[in-house]
Structure 1
Amino acid sequence: MTRVLMLVQHLRPGGIERMTLDLAQALNEQNQSQVHIAALEDSQAQAFGYWPALASYRFPLHFLNKQDGLDWRCIYQLRHLMKDQKIDVLHSHHIGPLLYGRLASLGLSLKHIHTEHDSWHFDSRKARWLTRLALLGRPQLIADADSVSHALQHIDLTPEKVITNGVNCQRFQPKEQRQARHHLRLPRHAFIFGCAGRFVPEKGLDRALNMLAQLPKHAHLAIAGDGPQRKFLQAHCEAINIRDRVHFLGQIEDMPLFYQSLDCFCLPSRKEGLPFAILEAQACGIPVLANNVGAVASLLAPGSHLVDADILKSLVAGATTMMNAAHDPKQLHQFIRRHADFETMCRHYLDCYQGAQT
Structure 2
Amino acid sequence: MRILLLTTGLKLGGAERQVADLASQFTALGHNVAVVSLTLAQEIELPPGVTLFRVDLRKAPLQFLFTLRAVRKWVEDWCPDIVHAHMFHANIFARLMRAQRSTGNRIPVVCTAHSLREGGWLRMLAYRLTDRWCALTTHVSAEGRQYMLDVHATTADRIRVMPNGIDTDRFRPDPNARIQTRRALGLGPDSRILLNVGRLVPEKAQQHLIEAFAVLRRDPQVAANTHLLIAGDGPLREALSSHAAALGLSHVVRLLGPCSNVPELMNASDVFVLSSVLEGLPLVVAEALACETAVVATDVSGIRSLLAASGTIVAPANIGELATAMRMALRERQDVASGRAHVVATYGLPHVAMQWIQFYQDLSGAGGRSPGDVSCQGAGHA
TM over 0.5: yes
Higher mean displacement: 293-302 or 158-167? 158-167
Q: CA deviation at 1:69?
A: 5.6
* Correspondence for 1:241 among 248, 267, 279: 248
d(CA) in 2 for partners of 1:137, 1:7 = 15
1:128 aligns with 2:121: no
**Per-residue deviation at 1:167?**
2.0
Q: 1:147 aligns with which of 135, 143, 147?
A: 143
- Superposition map of 1:89-238 within 5 A: 89-105=82-98, 109-121=106-118, 124-156=120-152, 157-158=155-156, 159-176=158-175, 177-216=178-217, 217=223, 218-238=225-245
Superposed, 1:301-320 pairs within 5 Å as: 301-320=308-327
For 1:77 and 1:247, the matched residues in 2 are separated by 46
Change (3 A) 1:77 1:348: same
- Who wins on radius of gyration, i.e. which is larger? 2
The structural deviation recorded for 1:63 is 2.0
Is structure 2 residue 80 aligned with structure 1 residue 81?
no
Runs of 4+ in structure 1 over 6 Å off: none
- For residue 34 of structure 1, report the CA deviation from its aligned partner: 1.4
How do residues 328-347 of structure 1 correspond to structure 2 at under 5 angstroms?
328-347=335-354
Distance 1:141 1:269, change over 3 A: same
1:54 corresponds to: 45
Post-superposition offset of 1:324: 1.5
Displacement after TM superposition at 1:25 (Å): 1.0
% identical equivalent positions: 24
- Confirm or deny: 8 A CA contact 2:135 2:363 kept in the other structure: no
- Residue among 19, 35, 51 paired with 2:33: 35
1:7–1:91 contact (8 Å) kept in structure 2: yes
Deviation at 1:149, TM superposition (A): 2.3
Q: State the 1:230 CA deviation.
A: 1.6
Contact 2:99 2:107 in 1 (8 A): no
1:213 is matched by which residue type in structure 2?
A
- Once the two structures are TM-superposed, the CA of residue 160 in structure 1 deviates from its matched residue by 4.5
Partner residue, 2:5: 6
The one-character-per-residue Cα deviations of 1:1-30 (angstroms, maximum 9, x if unpaired) are: x22221122111122211111111111121
Per-residue deviation, 1:76: 2.5
| Paired position in structure 1 for 2:375 | none
2:293 is paired with a residue whose SS is coil
Match among 341, 344, 362 for residue 355 of structure 1: 362
Hey, what's the Cα distance between the residues in 1 that align with 2:49 and 2:252?
40
**1:164, CA displacement in angstroms?**
2.2
Contact residue 83 and residue 110 of structure 2 kept, 8 A: yes
Q: Which moved more, 1:329-338 or 1:55-64?
A: 55-64
Specify the code of the residue in structure 2 equivalent to 1:84: D
Q: Residues 80-112 of structure 1, C-alpha deviation per residue, up to 9 Å, x if partnerless?
A: 221221122111112211111111226662000
SS at match of 1:221: strand
RMSD: 2.1
Q: Distance in 2 between matches of 1:161 and 1:180?
A: 40
Q: 1:351, CA displacement in angstroms? A: 1.0
1:346 shift after superposition: 0.5
TM (norm. structure 2) is: 0.84
SS in 1 for 2:273: strand
SS of 1:136's partner is helix
Unaligned runs of 5+ residues in structure 2 are 218-222, 366-382
User: What do the CA deviations read for 1:147-204 (whole angstroms, capped 9, x no partner)?
Assistant: 2222233234224532222222222111212233224444543221111111211111
The match for 2:22 is: 23
1:174 and 1:329 in contact (8 A); partners too: no
> What SS does the aligned partner of 2:229 have?
strand
SS of 1:120 mapped into structure 2: coil
Given that 1:193 and 1:221 are in contact with CA atoms closer than 8 Å, whether structure 2 keeps it comes out as: yes
Deviations 1:202-240 (A, max 9, x none): 111111111112122332111221122222222222222
Q: Secondary structure at the match of 1:277?
A: helix
How far apart, CA to CA, are the structure 1 residues paired with 2:67 and 2:11?
19
CA distance in 2, matches of 1:56, 1:184: 30
Cα offset, 1:312, TM superposition: 1.5
Contact 2:113–2:139 (Cα < 8 Å) also in 1: yes
- The separation in 2 between residues aligned to 1:329 and 1:298, in whole angstroms, is 15
8 A contact 2:173–2:290 mirrored in 1: yes
Q: Work out the CA distance in 1 between the residues paired with 2:228 and 2:38.
A: 34
1:288 aligns with one of 283, 287, 295? 295
- Contact 2:345 2:351 (C-alpha < 8 Å) held by counterparts: no
Aligned pair count reads 348
SS state at 2:118 partner: helix
Contact preservation (8 Å) 2:116, 2:278: no
